[in-house]
Amino acid sequence: MAYVSKPAGSGGPRKQFIRRKKVCKFCVEKIDYIDYKDSRLLFQFIPERGKILPRRISGVCAPHQRKLMEAIKKARNIALLPFTAD
């Protein structure tokens, strides 16, 4: 989300963009254990290419991101989730 620069001398106020802080889904719902067998939950954090979404995009806190990463890797190893897209 970038600002659009205005031509010099145009005057007038610039519209400010305020980004809302992302909150961790697992903290809000008080989920302590991320189950690797819950593929519906894990699919929310994997785009169609099959990569794991980073924290800055998914909004998950650091401890839950680490647990999420381990759960996704376990689910991939037992073929519940794909490694890559077709």
**9 assigned to some structural domain:** no
Which stretch, 20-29, 35-44, 77-86, has highest mean pLDDT?
35-44
Given this model, what pLDDT does residue 9 score?
Answer: 59
C-alpha–C-alpha distance, residues 28 and 32, integer Å: 11
Is 7 domain-assigned?
no
Residues shown for the chain: 86
Q: Which pLDDT does position 27 carry in this prediction?
A: 94
Give yes or no for a contact between 68 and 34, defined as CB atoms under 8 angstroms apart. Answer: yes
Q: Which residue has the higher pLDDT, 30 or 10?
A: 30
Q: How confident is the model at residue 15 (pLDDT cuts 50, 70, 90)?
A: confident
Return d(Cα 57, Cα 69) in angstroms, integer.
Answer: 14
CATH code of the domain covering residue 43: 4.10.640.10
In tens, the pLDDT along 34-68 reads 999 999 999 999 998 889 999 999 999 999 999 99
Residue in 4, 5, 80 with CA at minimum distance from that of residue 36: 80
pTM: 0.74
Evaluate whether residue 13 is within a structural domain. Answer: no
Is residue 61 within 8 A of residue 26, CB to CB? The reply is yes
